[in-house]
Amino acid sequence: MEQAFHWFCRKCGFREDFGRSYYWKCPKCGSPLVISTGRRYEVSKGRGLARYKSVLPVTPLKYMGEGETPLVKVSEEGVEVWFKLEYLNPSGSFKDRGTSLSLSYARKLGYTTVVDDSSGNTAISISLYSRALGLKPVLFIPRTAPEGKKKILRFLGAELHESESRGAASVDVVEYSRSHPEAYYVAHTWSYFYVIGAATIAFEVFEEAGVPDYVIAPVGSGGLLLGLAHGFKTLLEQGLTTKMPRIIGVQGYSVQPVNVALKGVETPGEESWLADGIMVPNPPRLAEIVDAIRESQGDVHLVGNTEVREAWLKLVDQGFLVEPTSAAAYAALERLKTRLQGKSVLVPLTGSGLKIIPLM
Amino acid sequence: MEQAFHWFCRKCGFREDFGRSYYWKCPKCGSPLVISTGRRYEVSKGRGLARYKSVLPVTPLKYMGEGETPLVKVSEEGVEVWFKLEYLNPSGSFKDRGTSLSLSYARKLGYTTVVDDSSGNTAISISLYSRALGLKPVLFIPRTAPEGKKKILRFLGAELHESESRGAASVDVVEYSRSHPEAYYVAHTWSYFYVIGAATIAFEVFEEAGVPDYVIAPVGSGGLLLGLAHGFKTLLEQGLTTKMPRIIGVQGYSVQPVNVALKGVETPGEESWLADGIMVPNPPRLAEIVDAIRESQGDVHLVGNTEVREAWLKLVDQGFLVEPTSAAAYAALERLKTRLQGKSVLVPLTGSGLKIIPLM
């Protein structure tokens, strides 16, 4: 852990050297914190995220196979699509990148337990990495979470607390972490570790194929979109490229806070519960997401169940065994194909279909 | 397709240039065929199996993310274990390597349908790759196959035929392929494409880490073990290394044809249905498996449910979310640790746990 890194609050200016304390939000004003670096980007030897350790605030304590996912380039009706197969990470989603960083930090600071509120891919990722790093995973999940996911979590040895709702879970988890000083609250929707984790996707793409013209990414809490923006911006600012991709965020009609924030008004459309992984009504980093999209001259697009379902089956038809949420970005691409003629477009495929298809 | 490759029968000497016809077994004597090559091993640019196209009889028609799986090195009680995370292939198992080759060949020869008898990882792999290559998948499965796997197969659009038993399925599939000339019978337990597919695991390990002292691999039909042997032997014969690993095959006590063939007598022990993926009573390539083990001065080890279960949980504890069959080799390693002090040991982790854990 290097003092070249520091915690920083965009809102109130709070700033502190990184590596001694843990904050899941600003201790002064309660805003999401950023971890910033003055370090030079370079590619190190090794496997996985450690290849980018020069710009990572913490190096993973253990390599478990995360990162270096396949990049599959396909030409589709005049658009050069770069699929990044993030669902082939160890627990079946891109979350493993952020989890690996966040939990390595928890271990370094001496925590023995990690706690979070999630019932989806992040919960599975945290449970798997906790075991491997010798930490006890505690999870607050909504009572209504799918039984199949509960089974995976129990199998992974997570201590499950069922809250009345998703909202209640995020209140209960904070209470738990207040009364358990040994517990590290991951707070994945707030944590910058998940943003930096996702930035390594951009680094891998750059190393292998350069900078794409566009990035189309699903947006729930926004860690993926912000990470891709952070990654490509790092390369741009350090003079390794002169190109920044335009970033298109994708949400469902049912839950569209980024769209509302960008356009000032809700856009009506078909319900979109099929892409459940991006149904986050109040993303803590909403302002940053909007800034990242604007700064890149990007946009936000909304999709509904019908398009998501079609895009999902079309992905599986190409050999990509993903979950429906992964298809939201691809559904948006379908609509944009005329506008994106001749362009290269990075589409991260986020989560594995194997977690849910056996239960369908 | 190169004429440097040819079909070859070890038993009757049948030999024919490769690339014009398809045989799942010797047309003269009914033995399993080998595809041999006179080509020089070299690493090509590109991703996935295409990196080794100089020694592949057929290059995958499409890259879908197979191969280049993570290699995780762990020091365990004095043994240097090299885990190869084959469960992170696109359909969740190492079978994708062989499927990619076999089905690319089917497409090149103009078949429109592929048919096979399997209800496990191979069936899922074939269904996924068929869709992506524009082939229709037809599968004969035992009526008793787990509902979760049937759901995955149906989701992937496979035409399922339920036979009375595993044995009946392998009779029914041959009848089907006789009356359907448009159908390519994959015959994965016979097919040398699956052996060559697995050989690419050895090539990747060699490129990244060199040749290990030992390989410990689960043996069902033996494609994995034979492929690893074939791969390392290719490197040895072409003078790229002077070292050949000792190859340890692992079977369960319940179904142990390789052990019986090597030692002349059945070894009693605990039942082993937990490692269901390796319960193949009559592997067509039994003689070759025995030869490969003997030639490498290797051995066979048997494991039972208790050990497999313990090894499985220990793998998950290390962050490897695999299925129980994957743990058979690791269970054998546990026993051999004293003998393997200071040695490097390659242990391929074959199949994803995500296909079954949500159903447990």
Residues B206-232: pLDDT tens digits? 999 999 999 999 999 999 999 999 999
Contact A357 B152 (CB under 8 A): yes
% of chain A residues with pLDDT over 90? 92
**Cβ contact B308:B327 at 8 Å:** yes
Q: Which residues of B touch A358 (CB under 8 A)?
A: 148-149, 151-152, 355-356, 358-359
- Which of B90, B129, B319 minimises the CB distance to A132? B319
Q: Which residues of B touch A65 (CB under 8 A)?
A: 69-70, 72, 85, 88, 319-320
Q: Which residues of A touch B148 (CB under 8 A)?
A: 358-359
Task: Report the chain A residue with the minimal C-alpha distance to residue B70.
Answer: A65
The tens digit of pLDDT for each residue in B19-67 reads: 999 999 999 999 999 999 889 999 999 899 999 999 999 999 999 999 9
Residue stretches of chain B with pLDDT short of 70? 1-3
Residue A117 has pLDDT above 50, yes or no: yes
Alpha helices in chain A (DSSP H): 95-108, 121-133, 147-155, 166-179, 192-209, 223-237, 257-263, 286-295, 305-317, 327-336
Contact A132 B356 (CB under 8 A): no
Helix (H) or strand (E) holding B191: none
**Mean pLDDT in residue range A132-146:** 94
**Cβ contact B133:A318 at 8 Å:** no
- Which of B131, B352, B354 minimises the CB distance to A319? B131
pLDDT for the residue numbered A3: 59
| Sheet arrangement for strand A136-142 | A159-163, A136-142, A113-117, A183-185
Q: Which residues of A touch B360 (CB under 8 A)?
A: 151, 155
- Which of B89, B148, B319 minimises the CB distance to A358? B148
pLDDT for the residue numbered B3: 59
* Confidence class for position A1, pLDDT limits 50, 70, 90: very low
Contact A319 B148 (CB under 8 A): no
For the CA atoms of A148, B278, B144, B137, the dihedral, rounded to the nearest 10 degrees, stands at: 80
Minimal CA separation from B31 to chain A, in Å: 33
pLDDT for the residue numbered A295: 97
Residue A81 has pLDDT above 90, yes or no: yes
Instruction: Enumerate chain A positions whose Cβ falls within 8 A of a Cβ in B.
Output: 47-48, 62-65, 68-72, 85, 88-92, 128-129, 131-132, 148-149, 151-152, 155-156, 316-321, 352, 354-360
Helix (H) or strand (E) holding A35: strand A33-37
pLDDT for the residue numbered B354: 92
Both tokens assigned to A122: 């992040």
Contact A64 B318 (CB under 8 A): yes
Instruction: Enumerate chain B positions whose Cβ falls within 8 A of a Cβ in A.
Output: 47-48, 62-65, 68-72, 85, 88-92, 128-129, 131-132, 148-149, 151-152, 155-156, 316-321, 352, 354-360
Contact B128 A68 (CB under 8 A): no
Q: How far is CA A134 from CA A37, A103, A271, B317, in A?
A: 29, 10, 41, 9
pLDDT for the residue numbered A147: 84
Mutate: best of A103, A314, A354, A355, partner B, most B CBs <10 A: A354
Q: Which residues of B touch A135 (CB under 8 A)?
A: none
Alpha-carbon gap, residue B140 to B133, rounded angstroms: 20
Q: What pTM was computed for the model? A: 0.96
pLDDT for the residue numbered A106: 98
ipTM score over 0.90, yes or no: yes
Both tokens assigned to A164: 């009345």
User: Any residues with CB less than 8 A from the CB of B89 and at least 6 apart, and which?
Assistant: A88, B65, B66, B67, B69, B95, B96, B97
**Mean pLDDT in residue range A22-47:** 94
Contact B354 A355 (CB under 8 A): yes
pLDDT for the residue numbered A161: 96
- Which of B47, B64, B72 minimises the CB distance to A319? B64
pLDDT for the residue numbered B2: 46
